[in-house]
Amino acid sequence: MPRTRLELEEIERRNLAPYAQLSANTRGRKYVEEPPEWRTQYQRDRDRVIHSRAFRRLEYKTQVFLNGTGDHLFAARVAPVAPAWRPGIDHVLAFVARGGVTAANVDLGTTLFRAGGVRPLQLAWSPDGRLLLVVERERLRLVDSRGRTRKALDLPAGFVARRAAFSPDGETIALLRERSGLSDVRLLSVRGHSWHERAGAPVSGAFSSLEWSPDGRWLLLAWPAADQWLFVSPARVLPVSGIARAFAGGAGPAAFPSLGGWCCY
C-alpha cells in the first residue's frame, strides 16, 4: 500500500540504526522546493538520477548485465490483457494469468494477491494505487490491495463493457459500454459501498476508447468510423474530424490512431 513521506520517515526512525542518515534530517537544499508527498527526499533524488537522460545513456556501458543476458524474463509471451503497473515507487504489476488476476511485486518476486474466477478485458489502478479496477465483459469489480472485492457492478442486459478509466482524482470511473453496435458513457462514483451512476456524455456512437483530461474536466472519445475525436464536458461536445489523416505517417493508407493517455500513439 502506498505510504506518505511522513509515514516513510517514521518507518526509517523506527527501523534504522541510530547512526543512520535519516531522510528527515537532511541539511536542506540550495534551491528551496516543496517536499514530495509520496517519497522521501532521498527517494526523489534517486529517481531523478536513474531517470535522467545522462544516466540512461549509460545503458550497454557496463560489464555486469545487459538486457536479456542474465536478468529474469518476467513474461515470455504477449499477454492477452495489458498488465497494469500500480502507481508508486514499488514495482507492483497486476496481470492476467491462469484464469485470474495476480498482483506481484516484481522487485521482490512476491505475490501480493490472486483473484480467481475472473476473465478481464482490462486492468487499471486508481491514481493512489489503493484500488484495482477489473473490467469484465458484463461486470466491473473494484479490488483492494489485498485482492478483496470492494464492490461490483453487473451491466444491464444487452450491454458489454469496452473500456473504463479512473478520473485523475480517483473519485470517478468513466465506463464505455456498448449495445447493438452503439456506445455510451456512464460515470460511476468510486466512494461508498454502492455505485452512483450518471450519464457521462450526451452523445452515442461506435466509440472505441476514452481518456480523461489531466484536470478531469473533459473526456476524449475515439470514434474511428466517423474519423473523429470527441472532446466531451458536462456542457459541451467538441468534434475534431480528419484524425487518421492528421496522424498519417508516410505514403501508406492512413490509420486511425489508438489513444494512449491524453494523447495517442
Domains and CATH numbers, the chain: 5-56 (no CATH), 84-264 (2.130.10.10)
Q: How many angstroms from the chain centroid is the CA of residue 201?
A: 22
Task: Please give the residue that has the higher pLDDT: either 253 or 144.
Answer: 144
- Tell me what the mean pLDDT of segment 103-112 comes to: 85
For 148-175, the pLDDT digits (tens) are 999 999 999 999 999 999 999 999 999 9
Residue 49: pLDDT band by 50, 70, 90 thresholds?
confident
Averaged confidence pLDDT in the chain: 83
Q: Hey, what's the cell of 182? A: 452503439
| Whether pTM exceeds 0.85 | no
